[in-house]
């Protein structure tokens, strides 16, 4: 009984290490090719629209309700200690440091990562990627690099907007439901906010943007065998991006704030 268990464990470890290796090689090749001309500016702009502009509604809704529920929940806690004045601060720090980047990242992973894997996966199984090569166009330069660049550039902007909308959500609940004075709420929000809170969140956003687009491209690029393969690639892209976001989130937080 022990041998099969160890065998399975060994196989899983090997498969895991192999996956890390092939993702790293893929990322390295994408970065190297992306840094050399030609640059496909139209592709980058198209992806910025796709990742940023079209994600605004879903990210905005996520942010406003998160800000609202944060204010409400922290009120029930802080009211017991008569510490209601800390609520604006809790809302803005939680949003800028953690919830803004993580929730926006997860929403974009579901929306954009999946679409990317499906699009590139379909191009793979219908030989469109081979066709690019026969037309002397490097698929890494034309398909992968523009998506990575757009992800890294766009996610921080998206998160900054999410931060602002989230604070607005907290403000609305604070002022109209919890009877805060509106000027005092805003003063409490800004007084305790440090630059590092916002910057760490934006750094996270840039990293998440890279991870989401990398996973979308990687799984799409490697998909095999028709509709089923593309479906599997889509699932893998979303799941792996989500897990990577949560993992990297911890380590970036530690790098910024651990003493």
- Helix (H/G/I), strand (E/B), else coil: 258: coil
Taking the least distance from each CB to another protein, the nearer of 9 and 131 is 131
- Give Cα 124 to chain centroid, integer Å: 24
Taking the least distance from each CB to another protein, the nearer of 121 and 201 is 121
Instruction: Work out which of 58, 128, 178, 231 binds another protein, going by CB under 8 A.
Output: 128
In the complex, minimum distance from the CB of residue 39 to another protein, in angstroms, rounded to a whole number = 12
- In 3D space, the residue among 65, 68, 60 whose CA is nearest the CA of residue 178 turns out to be 68
Whole-angstrom Cα Rg for the chain: 21
- Helix (H/G/I), strand (E/B), else coil: 172: helix
Tokens 């720090």 map to which residue? 93
Instruction: Work out which of 10, 77, 130, 194 binds another protein, going by CB under 8 A.
Output: 130
Peptide bond into 250 cis (omega under 30): no
Instruction: Work out which of 58, 72, 84, 138 binds another protein, going by CB under 8 A.
Output: 138
In DSSP notation, 89-133 reads HHHHHHIIIIIHHHHHHHHHIIIIIHHHHHHHHHHHHTTHHHHHH
Taking the least distance from each CB to another protein, the nearer of 32 and 177 is 32
What phi and psi, each to the nearest 5 degrees, are found at residue 178? Answer: -100, 5
How far apart CA 108 and CA 113 sit, in angstroms, is: 7
Instruction: Work out which of 8, 15, 79, 131 binds another protein, going by CB under 8 A.
Output: 131
18 binds another protein (CB under 8 A): no
By CB under 8 A, which span of 15-23, 60-68, 117-125, 156-164 interacts with another protein? 117-125
126 binds another protein (CB under 8 A): yes
In the complex, minimum distance from the CB of residue 118 to another protein, in angstroms, rounded to a whole number = 12
Q: Which of residues 20-79 bind another protein (CB under 8 A)?
A: 38, 40
Taking the least distance from each CB to another protein, the nearer of 123 and 150 is 123
Cβ neighbours of residue 54 closer than 8 Å, sequence gap 6 or more = 111
Inter-residue contact 217 to 147 (CB < 8 Å): yes
In the complex, minimum distance from the CB of residue 136 to another protein, in angstroms, rounded to a whole number = 4
137 binds another protein (CB under 8 A): yes
In the complex, minimum distance from the CB of residue 135 to another protein, in angstroms, rounded to a whole number = 4
Taking the least distance from each CB to another protein, the nearer of 131 and 255 is 131
Inter-residue contact 25 to 130 (CB < 8 Å): no
Total binding residues toward another protein, as defined by CB under 8 A: 17
Contact residues for another protein (CB under 8 A)?
Answer: 38, 40, 119, 122-123, 126-128, 130-131, 133-138, 142
């Amino acid at each position: 009984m022990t041998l099969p268990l160890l065998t399975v464990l060994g196989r899983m470890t090997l498969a895991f290490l192999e996956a890390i290796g092939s993702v790293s090689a893929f990322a390295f090749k994408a970065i190297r090719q992306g840094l050399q001309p030609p640059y496909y500016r139209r592709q980058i702009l198209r992806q910025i629209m796709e990742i940023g502009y079209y994600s605004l509604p879903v990210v905005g809704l996520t942010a406003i309700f998160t800000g609202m529920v944060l204010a409400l929940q922290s009120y029930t806690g802080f009211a017991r200690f008569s510490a209601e004045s800390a609520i604006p601060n809790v809302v803005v720090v939680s949003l800028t440091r953690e919830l803004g980047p993580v929730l926006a990242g997860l929403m974009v992973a579901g929306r954009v990562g999946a679409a990317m894997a499906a699009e590139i996966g379909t191009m793979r199984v219908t030989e469109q990627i081979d066709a690019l090569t026969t037309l002397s166009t490097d698929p890494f330069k034309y398909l992968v690099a523009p998506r990575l660049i757009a992800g890294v550039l766009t996610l921080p902007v998206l998160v900054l907007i999410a931060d602002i909308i989230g604070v607005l959500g907290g403000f609305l609940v604070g002022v109209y439901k919890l009877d805060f004075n509106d000027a005092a709420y805003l003063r409490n929000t800004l007084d305790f906010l440090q630059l590092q809170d916002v910057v760490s969140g934006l750094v996270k956003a840039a990293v998440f943007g890279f991870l989401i687009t990398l996973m979308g491209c990687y799984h799409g690029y490697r998909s095999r065998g028709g509709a089923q393969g593309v479906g599997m690639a889509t699932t893998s892209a979303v799941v792996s991006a989500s897990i990577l976001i949560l993992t990297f989130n911890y380590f970036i937080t530690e790098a910024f704030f651990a003493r």
